[in-house]
Amino acid sequence: MSPAATRETLGARPPLGDGVPTLRPPLGDGVPTLGAPYGEGARRAVRSRRALLIGYALFLIASPALADPPSRPAPSASDSASPASSDSGSALAEALFQEALRLAKAGKFQEACPKFAASHRASRSYGAAFNLGACDEELGRTASAWAAFSEAVPLARDGGERADAEERVKALRPRLVRRRIAPPASEPGLTITWDGAPLERAAWDVDVPIDPGTHEITASAPGKQAWTKKIDATKEGETVTLQVPPLVAVAVASWPLQRTLGLATGGLGVAGVVVGSVLGGLASSRWNEAKPLCYPDNTCAPPGASMAAEARTLAHGSTASFIAGGALVATGVVLFLTSGAKAAPGPSAKARLDPWIGPDGAGSTVTVSF
């Protein structure tokens, strides 16, 4: 039988009632007579008419158009009917539907349901929607089954199919588990997800049917800690209300003022050390120029004396810069390391500055210990 023909077997068609034409009774004594008792010819004529009427009556009884059709069961996941579709040539929808039927007949409803759904998406049909509902109901997914049967109602092709779908919708309605999400009064940028899927604001504060089982709700907003809760909703007919609490602001790590001062002080100290290094280099250079013009007792001829004096001035400046820079660096390090939370009892950070000067330059050494 072709798929188009098998579609007509979905649903349960009520038997025809009194509208079926009745058969006329065979001619009897009421047949008009021609006067005197029948002769043989008249009797043969009457028998011929009776035979014609009986044959006609038998033809009407045998006619499938007038006979009461056998009642058909409502479509289910194990029916052999194909999905009705405005596009009867949809090969994808037909192939998915037949594979789903095969799996359902084998009791593999977990695999069959997605294929019924895919068939319905490929080509909306009563058969696919109804069987998807029956498949979901087998798995205890009452909300999904209720939605599928509800979708099948307007797709029914006759009163029998419509009655079948409406009956299943009516039977499932009191069994539905529902949830209502109550958001906080004011929460800018609030988003809510249900089992990982975003919920539109229109779906908040509404009793929505859900499949029984464990579900997870998450609420989040910019600058706030996300709130998550898992619930077990399994009692038939109950409505679970979920109140989303005001979200807690995320703690933003602040940069302590002392740490900023430590960095600034240390930066100035590094600059002082750099200046001291430059001055020490210049002092060493000027002393090297003056040295050939000086005597062993460090007295110098007039040109060398001025260069030697300049070298000593630069050396003193270098030493002072090193000392000041080193002190600033040490202070900056201590400020930076001791900023933030109070230090636990124990050894604290210590810094020591050791300046030095020699014939070839000057400088200082900073030592930090803990």
Distance CA 357, CA 280 (A): 9
Query: Domain residues of the chain, as ranges?
Result: 1-12+42-174, 177-243, 257-369
φ, ψ at 135 (rounded to 5°) = -65, -45
The residue with tokens 């579900």 is 215
Note the Cα 370 to chain centre separation in Å.
51
Q: What's the pLDDT score for residue 366?
A: 55
* Residue type, position 328, single letter: L
Q: What's the pLDDT score for residue 14?
A: 35
The residue with tokens 């007039």 is 302
- 8 Å CB contact between 347 and 287: no
By CB atoms closer than 10 A (0-12, 13-18, 19+), residue 348 is exposed
Q: Which CATH number fits domain 177-243: 3.90.550, 2.70.98, 2.40.50, 2.60.40?
A: 2.60.40
Q: What's the pLDDT score for residue 52?
A: 55
Tokens of 66: 């007038």
* Residue type, position 263, single letter: L
Q: What's the pLDDT score for residue 268?
A: 81
CA distances from 258 to 167, 255, 325 (A): 75, 9, 19
Low-confidence stretches of the chain (pLDDT beneath 50)? 1-39, 42, 46, 58-74, 76-87, 341, 343-346
pTM higher than 0.75, yes or no?
no
Alpha helices in the chain (DSSP H): 3-7, 40-62, 91-105, 109-122, 126-138, 142-152, 159-172, 257-290, 302-337
The residue with tokens 């009897």 is 28
Fold adopted by 1-12+42-174:
1.25.40
Q: What's the pLDDT score for residue 66?
A: 31
CB neighbours (10 Å) of residue 73?
A: 12
The residue with tokens 């009705």 is 84
Distance CA 113, CA 130 (A): 11
Handedness of CA 276, 320, 294, 359 (dihedral sign): negative
State the SS3 of 220-252. ECCCECCEEEEEEECCCCCEEEEECCCCCECCC
- 8 Å CB contact between 339 and 256: yes
CA distances from 5 to 105, 233, 276 (A): 20, 43, 102
Q: What's the pLDDT score for residue 90?
A: 79
Q: What's the pLDDT score for residue 288?
A: 77
Handedness of CA 194, 199, 202, 204 (dihedral sign): positive
Q: What's the pLDDT score for residue 39?
A: 47
Distance CA 212, CA 224 (A): 31
